[in-house]
Structure 1
């Protein structure tokens, strides 16, 4: 019997350009039965995967305790319902600090998405390995530490200029150049220039005193800067090519790279190298403070909260969720860091007894509204007045010299609410609090950026004309 295209379709294969070669070869070799099926399975392109008929299950640890909370919870539920129909997902979780982070169907901040044999670049976002490091000093005054980190750190766009750069490990740089994703010239350049920088947004340097020991602690919060953003861009580009082949119904932001493919293995390796770079970035800043103060340190703690973690063929995508499962903590003593806002203590936590299987806790306080909405709520009150009120009693600074009201405490969820829900859901136990002395953030550096100046001038001209 001569095999035809109709026979292949009847066998369940999707028609395509591969039919001609497969039919000719099968007929030439007179393949039948199991031999034919085995050959066709090897020749056929991957079957397109539809969206799941029902969303994968989600562990919910987010509750509404006010009007703003209620709107936020509803928005998070809508986006998780859409997200969890992605074909690779087998489960997820929502933390008490969760809030939407893009179009509906995008993983929210405070979300965890568990995929089988797939890495989703959009689910770890561009700020890969956003993380927090703490150094506890033996005997140094908080003000001295705050002044010193202010002198050695770098906030805002771009990297450090010539003569001001930190030294990147040659071994790590060589590993970047050997990886198919990280060898990109722009990524390699950023890896050298951005070392020792913290960026902007909610990233900070925080100095406080441990409730447990009475010692001064320095904490820094930032991600992988330019190298991570570059990897994310290339990862999304490759994932989009795969999405068109594997699952056109899947939203572009939820595209994935098959983890067992050569590209998936290279991307996983790239993530681990970005993790090493980010940890080195924190370490460089902390060591610069140690050396300037000639200080002695008691301990150093570090953990990421924006990353992909692995158990077998399951990939846990955490977008703003702190890992507390020891399987996700290869270089930690089990103590993790959860910052809330600049005026509240930073929490040191451990996994609670009887915690959920997913193994995550909140990463911070989260937001109930966007930066723009928060600014509208403040209204016409001067930034200086709001700043003075919300930072009373602490030494709060903005690196660029301009206040960013969207990073003041009122821009975030109530810290007490997040702590209550974390405890009620047995996510983590607080083992120490770092009481605030002061903090440094980037500030509103964009205010004087050329595009902002041009926009204000254009608006002023329109107002004058009308």
Structure 2
């Protein structure tokens, strides 16, 4: 008598990909009775169910205002869901934390440690969002901002004139399992030297310690990273359906011990290398335009997955302090931007039990962009800009201001810095005091589909 899938279901097994191979083996060897049961017990996949209760995590955050209290409660609620994920071993919340996406998703300002598991949703589509600084010595900051404005690109899509992608990196991308086809190759070339939109910026200021003029860029891996994220989520979801169907879809993972897990990890490292180059071409072009040699340059990501043995540290908007996470770091120094009217902090620090090796990545938000804009109703954009950018050279690349990116949209910079001290989240060793910045602005006003609709 032939054994079928119905037979296995009647025996209490959940259907899955393993049925096909198991049925072929059982029928070819004419297994039955105890021999069949012993074989099925051996080959059935291990199912990983969520923890019955959330694992404890470190709460490096204090709320004082009504908005902060509401925001922090939402952060803790989503972390409580997330910390039930079966792969999770530890977690932490930074002072700049704010929820994003559906309940159970990692919040901005969240750090989650897993074993043998890479969770694509925990690095998000903006893989390797990061910051880079270059010091140009004692030079007029306006000259730097003007040169940078001519070099950079904000908004949707890529550049019309491309920077040269390094040949070695291009070859590595072509050889990669995930990034070797035509679409990511095109994105890697056309998006090089672009900064996107949202909270990404190009900032110019002066070092409090040296007085030198410093440029800081903030952006991620653009279309290339978004492409890899989508591919990763597809694979993670396939593993989730087979091995952990009760886990939230948002927290699906790819086991690193699987071949695809190692290939995905390799792809992440290439996206990291591309993103560093994405910063570098803008800094190099600005330097060449000014005919000035940089005196110092370093960078760090704050939206990535970091590996230590078989443990994976997922930082969604959290700055790695520990040197083991930043192999190309610079004397242990890291950058933590706040908002356009506040300094960019230069910090260093060590791993503690409560910080897990991380610091905040900025000031964070208490309100969504749309709610912040609604709160400004009745005030003109001109009045808002005059108040919030007074004394600063603030430019919007699209020509259309975006008030959801002004200082009032973010948490108190002073409170974030105070909580960094309170919870041991890095020591401030210098500050880059603001002169001005460039952001995308509301570029979608002039997007092709908007223009067509208006016509």
| TM-score, with length taken from structure 2 | 0.93
Which region of structure 1 is more displaced relative to structure 2, 448-457 or 342-351? 448-457
SS in 2 for 1:421: helix
Does the Cα contact within 8 Å between 2:164 and 2:189 map onto a contact in 1? yes
In the alignment, the residues of structure 2 paired with residue 456 and residue 78 of structure 1 have an alpha-carbon distance, to the nearest angstrom, of 42
Deviation at 1:28, TM superposition (A): 6.4
Match of 1:375 in 2: 373
Change (3 A) 1:10 1:58: farther
Match of 1:259 in 2: 256
Which region of structure 1 is more displaced relative to structure 2, 15-24 or 111-120? 15-24
Cα RMSD over matched residues?
Answer: 2.5
Does the Cα contact within 8 Å between 1:117 and 1:313 map onto a contact in 2? yes
Question: Which consecutive unaligned segments of at least 5 residues does structure 1 have?
Answer: 458-466
Match of 1:464 in 2: none
Match of 1:290 in 2: 287
Question: Which consecutive unaligned segments of at least 5 residues does structure 2 have?
Answer: none
Deviation at 1:50, TM superposition (A): 1.5
Query: Would you say how many aligned residue pairs link Structure 1 and Structure 2?
Result: 449
Match of 1:460 in 2: none
Match of 1:235 in 2: 232
Deviation at 1:20, TM superposition (A): 3.1
In the alignment, the residues of structure 1 paired with residue 206 and residue 42 of structure 2 have an alpha-carbon distance, to the nearest angstrom, of 62
Match of 2:102 in 1: 103
Matches within 5 A, 1:132-151: 132-151=131-150
The Cα offsets for residues 176-198 of structure 1, whole Å up to 9 and x where unpaired, read as 11111111321110000000110
1:437 aligns with 2:441: no
Change (3 A) 1:369 1:140: same
Match of 1:351 in 2: 349
Deviation at 1:63, TM superposition (A): 1.1
Match of 1:21 in 2: 24
Matches within 5 A, 1:311-350: 311-332=308-329, 333-350=331-348
Matches within 5 A, 1:414-433: 414-433=412-431
Matches within 5 A, 1:20-99: 20-24=23-27, 40=40, 43-44=43-44, 46-99=45-98
Does the Cα contact within 8 Å between 1:48 and 1:246 map onto a contact in 2? yes
Does the Cα contact within 8 Å between 1:349 and 1:431 map onto a contact in 2? yes
Match of 1:406 in 2: 404
Deviation at 1:241, TM superposition (A): 1.3
Does the Cα contact within 8 Å between 1:209 and 1:215 map onto a contact in 2? yes
SS in 1 for 2:295: strand
Change (3 A) 1:193 1:97: same
Deviation at 1:12, TM superposition (A): 8.9
Match of 1:463 in 2: none
In the alignment, the residues of structure 2 paired with residue 341 and residue 384 of structure 1 have an alpha-carbon distance, to the nearest angstrom, of 19
Deviation at 1:78, TM superposition (A): 0.6
The Cα offsets for residues 367-408 of structure 1, whole Å up to 9 and x where unpaired, read as 000000000111121111101110101101100111100000
Which region of structure 1 is more displaced relative to structure 2, 50-59 or 215-224? 50-59
Change (3 A) 1:306 1:20: same
SS in 2 for 1:348: strand
The Cα offsets for residues 217-258 of structure 1, whole Å up to 9 and x where unpaired, read as 000000000100110111111111111111111221111111
Does the Cα contact within 8 Å between 1:5 and 1:23 map onto a contact in 2? no
Deviation at 1:167, TM superposition (A): 0.4
The Cα offsets for residues 12-57 of structure 1, whole Å up to 9 and x where unpaired, read as 9657635533434665699979xx96x656633x222221111122
Does the Cα contact within 8 Å between 1:57 and 1:90 map onto a contact in 2? no
Match of 1:114 in 2: 113
Change (3 A) 1:15 1:270: closer
Change (3 A) 1:9 1:370: closer
Deviation at 1:130, TM superposition (A): 0.2
In the alignment, the residues of structure 1 paired with residue 355 and residue 411 of structure 2 have an alpha-carbon distance, to the nearest angstrom, of 26
Match of 2:394 in 1: 396
4+ residue stretches of structure 1 with deviation over 4 A? Answer: 3-16, 25-33, 39-42, 352-355, 450-457
Match of 2:265 in 1: 268
Does the Cα contact within 8 Å between 2:118 and 2:256 map onto a contact in 1? yes
The counterpart of 1:166, out of the listed 163, 167, 185, is 163
Change (3 A) 1:6 1:131: closer
Which region of structure 1 is more displaced relative to structure 2, 54-63 or 17-26? 17-26
1:195 aligns with 2:192: yes
In the alignment, the residues of structure 2 paired with residue 60 and residue 282 of structure 1 have an alpha-carbon distance, to the nearest angstrom, of 32
In the alignment, the residues of structure 1 paired with residue 351 and residue 245 of structure 2 have an alpha-carbon distance, to the nearest angstrom, of 42
In the alignment, the residues of structure 1 paired with residue 30 and residue 148 of structure 2 have an alpha-carbon distance, to the nearest angstrom, of 73
Match of 2:244 in 1: 247
Does the Cα contact within 8 Å between 2:4 and 2:23 map onto a contact in 1? no
In the alignment, the residues of structure 2 paired with residue 228 and residue 4 of structure 1 have an alpha-carbon distance, to the nearest angstrom, of 43
In the alignment, the residues of structure 1 paired with residue 116 and residue 182 of structure 2 have an alpha-carbon distance, to the nearest angstrom, of 29
Change (3 A) 1:70 1:174: same
Match of 1:360 in 2: 358
